[in-house]
Amino acid sequence: MKILLAVDGSTYSKKMLAYLSTHEALLAPGHQYTVFNAQTPLPPRAKAALGKATVEAYHAEEANKVLSVAAKFLKRHGIDAAVSWKVGPAGSLIGKLADEGEFDLLVMGSHGHSALGNLVMGSVATQVLAHCKTPVLLVR
């Protein structure tokens, strides 16, 4: 099975990884894993003031902070996962990657906001579900 793990460094991502560790069917060396992180773009003025190279270095550093934790966790369980990151809106990036990468399953943590909370604040999980045909496992 080809599994995409969307992580953001939050406690919800950590809960998702903990959930995987208790379910042998989901965390097994026979599967192929990709760990993905979406970086929020900096405002245009900040990008202009800092310069392209500085902004790219910033995003790479922030993504690697998040991805390294998940990769180390998987390594402890005997899994060598691919890692990837992009800059842009998380929901659409995750959904697009899940479909275009032909993943069998997308696993991610969710804050579990109410319907009103999603309406007011938005939800990456809601956006992923709107942009994705791949089956999604949300862990709260």
C-alpha span between 39 and 28 (Å, rounded): 28
* pLDDT for the residue 139: 92
* Res. 111 pLDDT band, cuts 50 70 90: confident
Give the pLDDT mean for 20-47: 94
pLDDT tens across 46-83, in order? 999 999 999 999 999 999 999 999 999 999 999 999 99
The answer to whether residues 98 and 86 touch, using CB atoms and an 8 Å cutoff, is no
Q: What residues have CB less than 8 Å from 38, skipping those under 6 apart?
A: 6, 8, 85, 86, 87, 88, 89, 90, 93, 94
Backbone CA torsion sign across 68, 10, 43, 38: positive
Q: What does the pLDDT average to over 107-113?
A: 78
- Whether 31 shows a pLDDT value over 70: the answer reads yes
